Amino acid sequence: MGAPAIPGVMKRGRPRSEQVERAILRAAGDLLTEHGLAAMTIEDVAARAGVAKTSIYRRWSTKGTLALDAFLADFLGSQPLPDTGNLENDLTAALRAWVRTVRGTPTGRALAELIAQAQSDPDLAVAWRERVVGPARAQHRKILEHAVARGEIPDTSDVEVLMDLLFGTAYHRLLQGHLPLTDRFVRRVVAVIVAGAKAGAAAPPTP
Amino acid sequence: MGAPAIPGVMKRGRPRSEQVERAILRAAGDLLTEHGLAAMTIEDVAARAGVAKTSIYRRWSTKGTLALDAFLADFLGSQPLPDTGNLENDLTAALRAWVRTVRGTPTGRALAELIAQAQSDPDLAVAWRERVVGPARAQHRKILEHAVARGEIPDTSDVEVLMDLLFGTAYHRLLQGHLPLTDRFVRRVVAVIVAGAKAGAAAPPTP
């Protein structure tokens, strides 16, 4: 499987297999955006890409892992690494960028559908953690490490829990749809986390 | 549709339609526990309940809404309303009970699968919000209202955001599976939220 390299410039003499892979990913990305994951079939992707179904199954074991690759480049590229010198500003910028990417957009629907699909597709669940959750958290961890380095929060803070608080809360509104992802929501979520973290509540109790 | 009444004692003269409904729900609950939602079909439920498929479709529009009813009584009954006189203790007890109910259990798998299914089944999404999210939040809102009444947190606190922080964070680990739902996780999540809320970070800034 593996993420396809997508160079910015078309080269002459591109190998046939790379052309096929790009055509498949483009077709899958279009179908995902137009109709959503539930309606997307390998048959449709093959037909739109002009390839045989076996050409797809040779590269991707399930439609979920194919959709993941089609989704990935777009999504991670839209998530910045803010570095304003202030934890509250950095977290606000990161969460605002995420909300902008997912609220009412095809990307948001694809994100929700991929998490949904991962609940019953173990290959996709593993790929999702390795290729979306992992890289996104590596980026957000830096924001918290910068805050530790500046002395804003204790160096024993549980940064994993702080990241779960920030994005888990936001994913919750995306997936459950009970309340909107407003800017006031972003500001209050960040304010509670920053106040708690600065108070040392994410660190082990001092003996 | 509507939630079925499940009295504790079998009555003589129970109407035939209620017997059918109970048989369907029991069959759906068993299949959900044994094989999960993705593998469950209306055909299988009908066969196990000994009823016609039309008897199911007359009562439930999709397999998702049927699974929801089968899941519901069990789940909400397992979630207590702690009232210890202390916000941190109450939230810890509520989140611990949730973790105990879902971590590595068929109920946890059903919960994840129902949220997954709701991403592509609008009927289920509406029923999910009305019949799971709504009642659960009504219960947790009381915990926060008790804290406001005791003066532990400001009465202008955004209790919706505080509930999202508590359960969104926990759902995140359940659905993404990147890290375990440990008791340390529970304690730190609660500690950050309580410290933030007590500092007034969930309330509008004072002018």
CATH of the domain at A60: 1.10.10.60
Question: Domain residues for A171?
Answer: 72-198
Looking at B63, B92, B121, the residue that finishes a domain is B63
**Residue B151 pLDDT:** 97
Residues of A numbered 49-88 whose beta carbons fall under 8 angstroms of chain B's beta carbons: which are they?
none
Q: b vs e for A47-57, b when ≥16 Cβ sit within 10 Å of the residue's Cβ? A: eebebeeebbe
- A171 vs B175: CB contact, 8 Å cut-off? yes
**Residue A109 located in a structural domain:** yes
- What's the pLDDT at B207? 66
Q: Does B185 touch chain A (CB under 8 A)?
A: yes
Percent of chain B with pLDDT strictly greater than 90: 71
In a domain, A172, yes or no: yes
The span from the CA of A35 to the CA of A67, in Å, is: 12
- Are B165 and A197 within 8 A, CB to CB? no
- Cα–Cα distance between A166 and B6 in angstroms, integer? 40
Same domain? B94 vs B133: yes
In this complex, the residue of B120, B129, B165 whose CB is nearest that of residue A116 is B120
In a domain, A8, yes or no: no
H-helix segments, chain A:
16-35, 42-49, 53-57, 63-77, 87-102, 106-118, 122-128, 134-149, 159-163, 169-176, 183-198
Indicate whether B33 belongs to any domain: yes
Determine whether the interchain pair A172/B164 forms a contact, defined as Cβ–Cβ distance below 8 Å. yes
> Looking at A2-6, A123-127, B41-45, B197-201, which range is the least confident one?
A2-6
Its pTM stands at 0.83
Closest-CA residue of chain B to A178: B129
Q: Confirm whether A3 is domain-assigned.
A: no
Q: Which of A134, A171, A194 sits opposite B172 (nearest CB)?
A: A171
Give me the tens of pLDDT residue by residue for chain A, a chain 207 residues long. 444 444 444 444 556 788 899 899 989 999 998 888 888 999 999 999 999 999 999 999 999 999 999 888 668 777 888 999 999 999 999 999 999 999 998 889 999 999 999 998 999 999 999 999 998 999 999 999 999 999 999 999 999 999 999 999 999 999 999 999 999 999 999 999 999 999 999 999 876
Domain assignment present for A180: yes
Task: Indicate whether this complex's ipTM tops 0.90.
Answer: no
Task: Tally the domains of chain A.
Answer: 2
Contacts of B168 (CB under 8 A, 6+ apart): A168, A169, A170, A171, A172, A173
| Contact call for A119 and B202, based on CB within 8 A | no
Measured CA to CA, the distance from residue B170 to residue B154 in angstroms comes to 24
For residues A173 and B51, what is the distance between their CA atoms, to the nearest angstrom? 38
Residue B166 clears pLDDT 80, i.e. is over it: yes
Asked if the Cβ–Cβ distance from B160 to A175 is below 8 Å, we say: no
Distance from CA of B145 to the nearest CA of A (A): 18
Q: How far apart are CA A145 and CA A156, in angstroms?
A: 11
